[in-house]
Amino acid sequence: MAEGVICILPDGTVRASASFIRSCSTTHHITEEVITGNGYNKICDWRKNGRGFTAISRGFPYAKADSFGAGEKKEFLSKEQFLREVLKHIEQNYHLPVEKQADLLKEFEQYVFGYSRLSPLMDDGSISDIRVVSHDCIRIKREGKRMDAGIAFASEKEYRQFIDYIATRNQVNISNLNAIQRFTDTESHPDFIFRFTLSMPIVNTYSEPYLCIRKVPKNFPMMAQLVEKNMMDRATAELLVQRFRQGSTLICGGNSSGKTTLLNALKETLPDDMAILVAQQADELTTLFHPDMMFLHSLPGASESSVNYDLKHISIAGLTMDVDFFIIGEVKGGEALYLLNAAYTGQICAATVHAPSADRAPEKIVDYAMYDSRYSRNELMKMMDCFQTLIFMEHYRVKEIFACLGWNAEKENLEYERLF
């Protein structure tokens, strides 16, 4: 039975052994014992028994000893009870002012249940993106504006330990063959899904890892709330809902422009008697109400020999399923061809794509489709007329809406009518 240790060092900082981090992803029992030795005060041992870290973050029981410090396992503790026991230990073993005790407990909680020094940024609802350029350069995007986070890791060593921690916690293998990793944490936070992009020094210009975190709200706003947030007016919202239900829709724009937010809200307006399939790389699209909506996400190989399921594979599988509406969260590659095939054969589809302007969005879809297609560029552009609605987003607002009028054979281009 594997064990790991989380510790409070004599200087008051919290650290965890690699075996503790590994066991975090597979355990829920904590035997409470305090062992002093080698300068460490061991707060608790974690033992593997087949449970996931999601159980920990959701308050699964923790094994309690007779007293915090020694004894046999007697009962189970909630997360809150366990932290109270940790606080008792801090009060008894560390001669610190009350406010320092609270700070130490908070750091302990963030290390065990959160994301260490980044936890305050992860919790902040006004922050949508976090970029760790280096251990002492952390940038955030708050309400659409980029700025310095005002915090930093103490050293490059601490930052690298943190990278190892989040990789192990999210069951991601890091190696020279897997130097760029994308993964998602859907469970550890009650309010957000965290989408990580990690690149290691072997592919970076500088000697430190590069980490980008996109925060996706779990309780996403509905169309009425987006009207209140001035993404669009009520008449525009009604127009979008009508067109979304009637034909295929493509939503485009730059980074953090509101594409996924709008798509999330629009799909919730679909009738309950429609069967809907959502294919996505990260779990950004979810449902709050719809009874017949299935979600598939890509699965990167956990090791060099693992099977990899990307959006293209998922899209191919989706075409064989009995669904009324097919959604791809974000088109980034060869899956564009299968999206086009589905829409061209009469399936109602929706997707988002990164594009700097509305007129570039169909071209981007065609560019991606050509990765896997033997069709000519013109043939693929003709197929794009099945996307009857084109929406361009900018700065979290609907800037333009176009209706596709069809393919102009004489001019060899798509023609659009601007609706908004």
Task: Name the segment(s) of the chain with CATH classification 3.30.450.370.
Answer: 118-217
Interstrand relation of 348-354 and 248-253 (parallel, antiparallel or unpaired): parallel
* pTM exceeds cut of 0.75: no
pLDDT of residue 35 exceeding 80, the answer is no
Q: Which residues pair with 180 in a beta bridge?
A: 199
Q: If you average pLDDT over residues 75-98, what whole number do you get?
A: 79
Per-residue pLDDT band at 104 (split at 50, 70, 90): confident
Interval 144-195: pLDDT, tens: 789 999 999 999 999 998 998 888 888 888 877 788 888 888 888 888 989 8
At 321, list the tokens. 């399923």
**Is 50 exceeded by the pLDDT of residue 72?**
no
What digits encode the pLDDT tens for the residues 124-133? 988 989 999 9
CA distances to 2, 15, 198, 377 from 174, rounded to whole Å, are 22, 21, 9, 38
Q: pLDDT over 90 for what percent of the chain? A: 42
How far is Cα 250 from Cα 263, in angstroms, rounded to an integer?
Answer: 9
Distance CA 420, CA 417 (A): 9
Predicted pLDDT of residue 205: 81
In angstroms, the Cα distances linking 215 to 138, 184, 197 are 15, 10, 12
Beta strands in 164-270 (DSSP E): 180-185, 192-199, 210-217, 248-253
Q: Which residue has the higher pLDDT, 145 or 118?
A: 118
Q: What is the CATH code for 118-217?
A: 3.30.450.370
| Residue 326: band (very low, low, confident or very high) from pLDDT cuts 50, 70, 90 | very high
**8 pLDDT higher than 60:** no
Q: Are 85 and 30 in contact (CB under 8 A)?
A: no
| Arithmetic mean of pLDDT over the chain | 79
Q: At 25, list the tokens.
A: 């992803």
pLDDT in the model for residue 75: 53
Token couple for 338: 């299968």
| Number of Cβ within a 10 Å radius of residue 390 | 25
Listed in order, the ranges of the chain carrying CATH 3.40.50.300 are 223-418
pLDDT(140) > 90: yes
Which CATH architecture is the domain 223-418 placed in?
3-Layer(aba) Sandwich (3.40)
Model confidence pLDDT, tens digit, residues 232-289: 999 999 999 999 999 999 999 998 899 999 999 999 999 999 999 999 887 788 887 8
Beta carbons of 133 and 214 less than 8 angstroms apart: no
208-246 tens-digit pLDDT: 999 999 898 888 899 999 999 999 999 999 999 999 999
Q: Which two tokens stand for residue 324?
A: 């009324």
Question: Which amino acid makes up residue 336?
Answer: A
